[in-house]
């Protein structure tokens, strides 16, 4: 356990000056700032809305882009960035000749990738809530302060987080095994497009495809409405989420056995 | 024995790169692991660090079997394999701090190591901007960080300038003499190993050709006296008449087996007195290729 914690800390130490880590912070900040700007400059469009619908519209600026293409691309990028640190510096051989079990080294790396995705989605919640409340101060005609969406939003992003785990585990393993970016990126993008297509066409087996899960998760919460979404139905633990978590667990364990048996270059 | 292997073999696919190697590395020694590029040195080192799954045979480090005592053994080893593994986006000091964190080593040791390899002034510079020699020195600092009992260094003087090579050599000698460390060092340069090693293993095509103390090696690797004169044929005849065995003659130079420095002086005097102008006379080590020939002959 000590080896795992040390490795996890080291992952943070290594990444704290890289785009991999800052991407997880800047992405939610920039998108939330964009939402803030839209609502600030186009406030007249939203004044008439009831508070809940207002919050939903506000949150959907981020959720919309994240739930479709951006989250899978971000995950592809995170899976790559935590592994490329070692590929580029040729440090796999040093990592695996440390007096730390291979399990800890591998587990900590995976856990750190999961942590970055979690951090990113967490910050989306934080920035959305903060900027919404900020808007009700600087634009009092937008009545954000009359409704509290914190709990719902936390649930939504938690579901999105769980839905991303399957994709993350696959991307992580591909990036671990291949040093060049093009393979995991190319395969990941193709699968993402297939997944998005399947989810958006409501294909009945889309829930079995990890790359369809982020979009499935989002659709399940904002479906069945014509025009702008005004209401949400939150059910975190749906079958696609179970599939996503199961895929993550299986791929993670399979990855460990691959690492264990593989010779280090 | 600090390292002992028995019948160690390894194959990449159908190509066998290490053949039934039996290493014997005594405690407190500087063991020079000598062989040309592609002889199987790095593969052997990676097996010693459990990075490659041992094909056949067994490895004992500190008298413990490697597979079953992996972590306990790795705790006592510092290593540098091929080019040093350094994170280019971090400074030299950060690279050491990161490793110190993983090894549970005190931060003060980091600055000690930086001073030891003379990188204190470049400690805060990104290692991406380091020269090859600086990277190599940082790699050595990383290997020494946990104060390991055994150092495994793969071609550590690659890319170092002559001063750097001398410093590393002196450091390794000091570590073994004063701190009772054992150093396992690979190289493709015979001269470099001869200057510091106490024990030598010579490997070619994955096979051990020679293993023993440096004195045993010197008995095989007899150095030569290299002489340049204005007339090599006359010089050769003259030396032969005076009881010297001439090993080789060509248009520019001739060689005679080396026995002592005094003998070199005698040869020089003899040639001069007989009207042969000597342009150069010096002691020459056999290169690895010639050494291989002598070893194969003597076997």
Of B19, B22, B33, the closest CA to residue B182 belongs to B33
Q: A99–B53: do the CB atoms touch at under 8 Å?
A: no
Q: Domain locations in chain A?
A: 2-261
Give A231's pLDDT tier (boundaries 50, 70, 90): low
pLDDT at B296 over 70: no
pLDDT digits (tens, 9 = 90+) for A105-146: 999 999 999 999 999 999 999 999 999 999 888 888 888 888
Nearest CA-CA distance, residue B71 and chain A, Å: 5
Instruction: Find, in chain A, the residue whose alpha carbon is nearest to that of B75.
Output: A99
* Residues of chain B contacting residue A104, judged by C-beta atoms under 8 Å apart: none
Instruction: Find, in chain B, the residue whose alpha carbon is nearest to that of A85.
Output: B87
Give B2's pLDDT tier (boundaries 50, 70, 90): very high
Neighbours of B70 (CB within 10 A): 18
Of B103, B17, B199, B106, the closest CA to residue A2 belongs to B103
* Residues of chain A contacting residue B88, judged by C-beta atoms under 8 Å apart: 88-89
Domains defined along chain B, listed by start: 3-213 (3.40.50.300), 221-298 (3.30.70.270)
pLDDT at A224 over 60: no
B13 contact partners, CB below 8 Å, separation of at least 6: none
pLDDT digits (tens, 9 = 90+) for B218-276: 777 778 889 999 888 888 998 899 888 888 888 888 988 888 889 889 999 999 998 88
Which pLDDT belongs to residue B164?
Answer: 82
Q: To the nearest whole number, what is the mean pLDDT of chain B?
A: 89
In angstroms, the CA A251 to CA A165 distance is 10
Judge whether B297 is closer than 8 Å to chain A, CB to CB. no
For chain A, percent of residues with pLDDT exceeding 70: 96
Residue whose tokens read 């497009």: A193
Q: B49–A90: do the CB atoms touch at under 8 Å?
A: no
B36 three-state secondary structure: coil
Which pLDDT belongs to residue B74?
Answer: 95
What single string gives the DSSP state of each residue in B228-287? Answer: EES-HHHHHHHHHHTT----EE-SSEEEEE---HHHHHHHHHHHHHTTPPEEEEEEEPPP
A20 three-state secondary structure: helix
pLDDT digits (tens, 9 = 90+) for B154-213: 988 887 888 888 888 888 898 898 888 999 999 988 888 888 899 999 998 899 988 999
Nearest CA-CA distance, residue A227 and chain B, Å: 48
* Residues of chain B contacting residue A90, judged by C-beta atoms under 8 Å apart: 82-83, 85
Judge whether B64 is closer than 8 Å to chain A, CB to CB. no
Judge whether A208 is closer than 8 Å to chain B, CB to CB. no
pLDDT digits (tens, 9 = 90+) for A4-62: 999 999 999 999 989 989 999 999 999 999 999 998 898 888 888 888 888 888 998 88
Nearest CA-CA distance, residue A265 and chain B, Å: 8
Q: A88–B88: do the CB atoms touch at under 8 Å?
A: yes
Instruction: Find, in chain A, the residue whose alpha carbon is nearest to that of B12.
Output: A263
* Residues of chain B contacting residue A264, judged by C-beta atoms under 8 Å apart: 46, 51-52
Of B25, B20, B23, B24, the closest CA to residue B57 belongs to B20
Q: How far is CA B286 from CA A187, B137, B225, in A?
A: 55, 29, 11
For chain A, percent of residues with pLDDT exceeding 90: 52
DSSP one-letter code for A263: P
Q: B74–A99: do the CB atoms touch at under 8 Å?
A: yes
Instruction: Find, in chain B, the residue whose alpha carbon is nearest to that of A11.
Output: B98
Give B8's pLDDT tier (boundaries 50, 70, 90): very high
Q: To the nearest whole number, what is the mean pLDDT of chain A?
A: 88
Which pLDDT belongs to residue A229?
Answer: 61
Q: Quick one: average pLDDT of A189-206?
A: 86
Which pLDDT belongs to residue B184?
Answer: 96
Nearest CA-CA distance, residue A15 and chain B, Å: 9
Residues in chain B: 299
* Residues of chain A contacting residue B85, judged by C-beta atoms under 8 Å apart: 89-91, 93-94
What single string gives the DSSP state of each residue in A177-237? Answer: H--SSHHHHHHHHHHHHHHHHHHHTT-TTGGG-GGGHHHHHHHHHS-S-SSS-------S-
């Amino acid at each position: 356990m000590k080896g795992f914690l040390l490795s996890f800390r080291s992952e943070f130490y290594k990444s704290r000056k890289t785009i991999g880590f800052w991407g997880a912070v800047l992405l939610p900040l920039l998108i939330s700032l964009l939402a803030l700007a839209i609502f600030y400059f186009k406030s007249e469009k939203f004044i008439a809305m009831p508070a809940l619908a207002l919050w939903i519209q506000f949150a959907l600026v981020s959720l919309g882009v994240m739930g479709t293409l951006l989250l899978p691309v971000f995950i592809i990028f995170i899976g790559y960035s935590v592994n490329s640190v070692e590929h580029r510096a040729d440090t796999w051989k040093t990592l695996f000749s440390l007096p730390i079990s291979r399990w800890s080294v591998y587990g900590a790396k995976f856990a750190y990738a999961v942590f970055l995705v979690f951090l990113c989605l967490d910050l989306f919640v934080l920035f959305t809530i903060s900027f919404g409340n900020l808007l009700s101060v600087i634009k009092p005609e937008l009545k954000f302060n009359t409704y509290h969406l914190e709990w719902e939003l936390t649930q939504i992003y938690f579901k999105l987080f769980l839905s991303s785990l399957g994709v993350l585990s696959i991307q992580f393993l591909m990036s671990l095994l291949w040093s060049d970016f093009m393979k995991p990126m190319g395969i990941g993008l193709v699968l993402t497009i297939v997944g998005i297509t399947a989810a958006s066409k409501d294909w009945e087996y889309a829930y079995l495809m990890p790359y369809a899960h982020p979009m499935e998760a989002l659709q399940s919460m904002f479906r069945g409405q014509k025009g702008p979404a005004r209401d949400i139905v939150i059910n975190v633990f749906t079958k696609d989420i179970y599939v996503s978590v199961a895929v993550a667990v299986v791929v993670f364990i399979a990855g460990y056995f691959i690492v264990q048996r593989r010779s280090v270059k | 024995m600090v390292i002992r292997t028995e019948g160690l073999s390894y194959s990449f696919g159908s190509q066998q790169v290490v053949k039934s190697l039996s290493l014997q590395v005594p405690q407190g020694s500087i063991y020079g692991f000598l062989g040309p590029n592609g002889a199987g040195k790095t593969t052997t080192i990676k097996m010693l660090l459990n990075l490659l799954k041992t094909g056949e045979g067994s490895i004992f480090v500190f008298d413990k079997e490697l597979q079953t005592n992996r972590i306990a053994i790795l705790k006592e080893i510092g290593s540098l394999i091929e080019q040093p593994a350094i994170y280019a986006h971090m400074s030299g000091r950060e690279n050491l701090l990161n490793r110190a964190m993983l090894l549970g080593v005190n931060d003060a040791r980091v600055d000690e190591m930086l001073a030891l390899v003379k990188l204190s002034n470049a400690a805060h510079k990104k290692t991406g901007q380091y020269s090859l020699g600086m990277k190599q020195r940082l790699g050595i600092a990383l290997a020494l960080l946990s104060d390991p009992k055994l150092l495994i260094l793969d071609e550590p003087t690659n890319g170092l300038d002559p001063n750097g090579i001398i410093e590393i050599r002196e450091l390794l000698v000091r570590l073994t003499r004063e701190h009772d460390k054992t150093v396992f060092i690979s190289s493709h340069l015979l001269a470099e190993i001869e200057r510091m090693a106490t024990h030598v293993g010579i490997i070619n095509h994955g096979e051990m050709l020679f293993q023993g103390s440096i004195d045993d090696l010197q008995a095989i690797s007899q150095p030569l006296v290299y002489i340049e004169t204005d007339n090599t044929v006359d010089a050769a005849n003259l030396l032969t008449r005076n009881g010297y065995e001439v090993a080789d003659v060509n248009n520019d130079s001739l060689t005679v087996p080396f026995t002592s420095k005094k003998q070199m002086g005698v040869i020089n005097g003899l040639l001069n007195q007989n009207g042969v102008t000597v342009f150069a006379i010096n002691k020459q080590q056999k290169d690895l290729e010639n050494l291989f020939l002598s070893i194969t002959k003597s076997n």
